[in-house]
Chains A and B, each alone.
Chain A
């Protein structure tokens, strides 16, 4: 089996995963959520009689404040059940006896998950940028940087979600744990570390602060939270993605289909 053949098979797996997102309406659900968030951000200020922020960074900063949540939801919908569902739903009996390596299956699913999640983030930042340009008549490089950090954070969430999916047996537990890990558990751990005077630079949700920080805005309450510098944040995202994906692949390869 050549690397070219592996890659070809990975794209086949990815194409069927994308079909799953489309037919199970996960992609549609995310699009609806996206529309809702965008509608609120753009619709609320005029409805409340207040003005939009005048600078592009401040304007896109409002959007960036929701990026972390969006990234976590992408991980929940497009990654958390990717691996464990083959075991739980017994579809592995169809897929695994084909002449395809488990690593290739993980790669295909990872590609699909990243493609769907990045599409959502692209759309989000695309709309934010167009709206910023229309309202403030200008755009800044920081907006593009914020988008890059958001894409990196999405990859980080995906890596961790894949790891959980390779460890846990059920799709529900993998989905719920992915959600609460990023929205609650990491936050609590970060707060406790800060109380103990330990810098939580290695926690992905802390590093995700860079998405807003680069725009000169903050995603959390003032004085609360810790945001590492850009390089450290990107290294944290890359670390979680790479380690999460590799360990997930090893575990998925070793996991037996017993049910």
Chain B
């Protein structure tokens, strides 16, 4: 993606996005609702036209040669609706026949993908009787049908129950192990950290961060911690913690839990823990609030909101 942008009248849904996804990567595309994730994915899959810039898949321009660009791509965009009068097997046959799959390949792959998404036994039932979660599974199945080299998934776990979410994540992980390239949008940070190798964060149509998860984690040193004590601290003790070197603030959260905001990295963290232990305060736990990446995510989003 080079300088990719999309305007709706005076509203800029996507500013100017430069992003390259390396083959074999599972890439998480993070951002809150309305950040521009779906807009980007819709441009990539030729559902909408960009106002500026270029999107290419395997080096083929999506706008100029959409059929060529999308040939080796499987997509799940939002929760797609299917023709209610068809069964999952017929839906898969429709997609497979459009892609020129042979009857034998279609039969074998249909059975396999329905098994993968746990819809075996529902193959000949009409889709209009399906729940949202079942339709989402079918969407994943049709995306996998032709064994694509690239999967573009727009919030693939949306609408699924926790078990369904875990199953879809397992599918994505297994595809990643097979070496397929995955571009997955999500507003669930945990999902991205669990499944992806690299990620980009966008908000208000602007790219805020990008890199491998390791790079982002290094950049995202946790600064907000919870210190848990056996008993609630008195105000003097709280003020004392707040005055320790490297501590920006210390707030009582009740029940012996104090939220400590640090201004430094692991060294500051170690020094603060040592000081508390030496002081004799009954510390039972000291842990980051959420993940470091989560803190970075929230920090970045807060900055763009300001």
Set of chain B residues within 8 Å of A89, measured between Cβ atoms: 81
- Confirm or deny: B142 has a beta carbon within 8 angstroms of a beta carbon on chain A: yes
- Confirm or deny: B94 has a beta carbon within 8 angstroms of a beta carbon on chain A: yes
Q: Is the CB of A91 within 8 A of B82?
A: yes
Residue interface mask A1-33, B partner, CB < 8 A = 1: 100010011001100100110011000000000
Q: Is the CB of A94 within 8 A of B99?
A: no
Set of chain A residues within 8 Å of B77, measured between Cβ atoms: 93, 97
Q: Which residue, of A8, A9, A93, has the highest number of chain B Cβ atoms within 10 A?
A: A93
Set of chain B residues within 8 Å of A5, measured between Cβ atoms: 100
- Confirm or deny: B173 has a beta carbon within 8 angstroms of a beta carbon on chain A: no
Q: Is the CB of A19 within 8 A of B91?
A: no
Q: Is the CB of A101 within 8 A of B98?
A: no
Q: Is the CB of A257 within 8 A of B68?
A: no
Determine the residue in chain B with the shortest Cβ distance to A91.
B81
- Confirm or deny: B45 has a beta carbon within 8 angstroms of a beta carbon on chain A: yes
Set of chain A residues within 8 Å of B94, measured between Cβ atoms: 12, 16
Set of chain A residues within 8 Å of B42, measured between Cβ atoms: 256-258
Distance of A234 Cα from B46 Cα, bound (Å): 38
Set of chain A residues within 8 Å of B49, measured between Cβ atoms: 256
Residue interface mask B46-89, A partner, CB < 8 A = 1: 11110000000000000000111011010101101111011000
Q: Is the CB of A93 within 8 A of B98?
A: no
Distance of A14 Cα from B85 Cα, bound (Å): 15
Set of chain A residues within 8 Å of B86, measured between Cβ atoms: 16, 19
- Confirm or deny: B95 has a beta carbon within 8 angstroms of a beta carbon on chain A: yes
Q: Is the CB of B80 within 8 A of A91?
A: yes
Q: What's the tally of chain B residues with a CB closer than 8 Å to chain A?
A: 32
Determine the residue in chain B with the shortest Cβ distance to A5.
B100
- Confirm or deny: A65 has a beta carbon within 8 angstroms of a beta carbon on chain B: no
- Confirm or deny: A141 has a beta carbon within 8 angstroms of a beta carbon on chain B: no
- Confirm or deny: A92 has a beta carbon within 8 angstroms of a beta carbon on chain B: yes
User: A93: which of B47, B85, B95, B99 is its contact (CB, 8 Å)?
Assistant: B47
Distance of A23 Cα from B91 Cα, bound (Å): 14
Q: Is the CB of A97 within 8 A of B82?
A: no
Distance of A92 Cα from B83 Cα, bound (Å): 10
Distance of A1 Cα from B99 Cα, bound (Å): 11
Q: What's the tally of chain A residues with a CB closer than 8 Å to chain B?
A: 26
Per the 8 Å Cβ criterion, residues 24-61 of B in contact with A are: 42, 45-49
Distance of A13 Cα from B99 Cα, bound (Å): 12
Total A-B pairs, Cβ < 8 A? 75
Q: Is the CB of A93 within 8 A of B80?
A: yes
**Contact A97-B73, Cβ < 8 Å, known A9-B98, A12-B97:** yes
User: A20: which of B70, B75, B85, B97 is its contact (CB, 8 Å)?
Assistant: B85
- Confirm or deny: A50 has a beta carbon within 8 angstroms of a beta carbon on chain B: no
Q: Is the CB of B85 within 8 A of A23?
A: yes
Q: Is the CB of A12 within 8 A of B98?
A: yes
Set of chain B residues within 8 Å of A12, measured between Cβ atoms: 94, 97-98
- Confirm or deny: B207 has a beta carbon within 8 angstroms of a beta carbon on chain A: no
Q: Is the CB of B83 within 8 A of A16?
A: yes
Q: Is the CB of B70 within 8 A of A98?
A: yes
- Confirm or deny: B139 has a beta carbon within 8 angstroms of a beta carbon on chain A: yes
**Contact A97-B45, Cβ < 8 Å, known A12-B94, A91-B80:** yes
Determine the residue in chain B with the shortest Cβ distance to A20.
B85
**Contact A99-B47, Cβ < 8 Å, known A89-B81, A93-B78, A257-B42:** no
- Confirm or deny: A38 has a beta carbon within 8 angstroms of a beta carbon on chain B: no
Distance of A112 Cα from B86 Cα, bound (Å): 17
Q: Is the CB of B97 within 8 A of A92?
A: no
- Confirm or deny: A100 has a beta carbon within 8 angstroms of a beta carbon on chain B: yes
7 sampled A-B residue pairs with Cβ under 8 A:
A5-B100, A8-B100, A12-B94, A91-B80, A99-B70, A99-B98, A257-B42
Top 4 closest A-B pairs, CB basis?
Answer: A93-B80, A23-B85, A256-B48, A99-B67
Binding site for A on B (CB under 8 A): 42, 45-49, 66-68, 70-71, 73, 75, 77-78, 80-83, 85-86, 90-91, 94-95, 97-100, 139, 142, 152
Known: A94-B82, A96-B46, A99-B99. 11 other contacts (CB 8 A): A19-B85, A94-B80, A97-B47, A97-B70, A98-B70, A98-B95, A98-B98, A99-B66, A99-B70, A257-B42, A258-B42
